[in-house]
Amino acid sequence: MEELEEYDFLYGTAWKEDRTSALTELALSMGFRAIDTANQRRHYFEEGVGQALAAAYRTGLVTRDDLFLQTKFTYQRGQDHRLPYDPAASLSVQVAQSMASSLEHIATDHVDSYVLHGPASDDDWTEDDAEVWEAMRKERDAGRTRLLGVSNISLQQLQQMEAACTELPTFVQNRCYARLGWDRAVRQFCRERKIVYQGFSLLTANRKVLQHPLIISLAASANATPAQVVFSFARSIGILPITGTSSAEHMKQNLASRDVTLSPEAVQAIESLAG
């Protein structure tokens, strides 16, 4: 797990459509080495990520071994008509087909992390999830992914996985609302089990927090921007942050947030800012 520490910022590729390739290549050139995508054409253009990687390999910017590549399996209910699998096939076969399609899109024989985009139900870890998870484990055992994750998962669903003696994920990827203590309960579950917590929407879910006097004054004294304070705070409480910025300047600033240090008191104050 130590090797994961070198990947301390994920670049998210959602909602970039025909700019996906150029923006992913820009992110690599700015220094991002961990990329988050999904085989869900509705929100992601995974082939565009593949084009960026091919270009970056060609110019010698990076090699496959320098990178942490993460993609996702998405149930049909989260997709539009552009499915990466046969919807009439069993869920296990859909996982295998989606993985094969992802590997083709990003021209690799394995990803580093394969994530269930979200459980089938908002409430429980269902039998469908158990079938999909088993199929994902088989993909891992066959060497097509090194690690597994689950996204958009609740504490209850994680507890149900554990109660069923199901293998727990290496990663949880969730939306982080400050008003929920930055997903405090799920983060605690993860911390106690050494699950790496990936946080998204750190900025977009917390627009008011970015304007809060506490954040503004911490930013001023750290000579940083409010966004940098939020990313630095996130890392301080064990969140592996994801950014989906389309701006070169923000890419630079977000990576530079690694050098923004907050006192333990400041971290605690931000954590309890809204809940």
Ligand X SMILES: NC(=O)c1ccc[n+]([C@@H]2O[C@H](COP(=O)([O-])OP(=O)(O)OC[C@H]3O[C@@H](n4cnc5c(N)ncnc54)[C@H](OP(=O)(O)O)[C@@H]3O)[C@@H](O)[C@H]2O)c1
With contacts defined by CB under 6 A, how many residues of the chain interact with ligand X?
A: 24
Spatial neighbors of 218 by CB under 8 A, at least 6 apart, are: 224, 229, 262, 266, 270
Is residue 245 close enough to count as binding ligand X by CB under 6 A?
yes
CA distance 108 to 177: 34
Is residue 202 close enough to count as binding ligand X by CB under 6 A?
yes
* CB-nearer residue toward ligand X: 8 or 86: 8
**Which residue from 76, 221, 247, 263 is in contact with ligand X, where contact means CB under 6 A?**
247
Binding range to ligand X, per CB under 6 A, among 95-103, 159-167, 179-187, 239-247: 239-247
Is residue 74 close enough to count as binding ligand X by CB under 6 A?
no
Is residue 203 close enough to count as binding ligand X by CB under 6 A?
yes
CA distance 253 to 233: 14
Is residue 211 close enough to count as binding ligand X by CB under 6 A?
no
Length of the chain: 275
Minimal distance, residue 229 CB to ligand X, in Å: 10
Is residue 232 close enough to count as binding ligand X by CB under 6 A?
no
Binding range to ligand X, per CB under 6 A, among 26-34, 183-191, 199-207, 265-273: 199-207
Minimal distance, residue 39 CB to ligand X, in Å: 13
Q: What is the SS3 assignment for 89?
A: coil
Residue type, 207: R
- Look at residues 195, 185, 273, 174 and name the one whose alpha carbon lies nearest to residue 229: 273
Sign of CA dihedral 271, 231, 202, 130: negative
Which residue's Cβ has the minimum distance to ligand X? 12
CA distance 258 to 33: 14
How far is C-alpha 181 from the chain's CA centre? 19
Minimal distance, residue 165 CB to ligand X, in Å: 26
* CB-nearer residue toward ligand X: 39 or 245: 245
Q: What is the SS3 assignment for 68?
A: strand
Asked if residue 93 lies in contact with residue 86, where contact means CB atoms within 8 angstroms, the answer is yes
Q: Token pair of 123, please? A: 């409430």
Residues of span 115-154 touching ligand X by CB under 6 A:
117, 151-152
**What radius of gyration do the chain's Cα atoms show?**
18
Is residue 12 close enough to count as binding ligand X by CB under 6 A?
yes
Is residue 254 close enough to count as binding ligand X by CB under 6 A?
yes
CA distance 226 to 183: 20
* CB-nearer residue toward ligand X: 206 or 236: 206
Binding range to ligand X, per CB under 6 A, among 6-14, 46-54, 90-98, 158-166: 6-14
Binding site for ligand X (CB under 6 A): 12-14, 36, 117, 151-152, 173, 200-204, 225, 227, 242-247, 250, 253-254
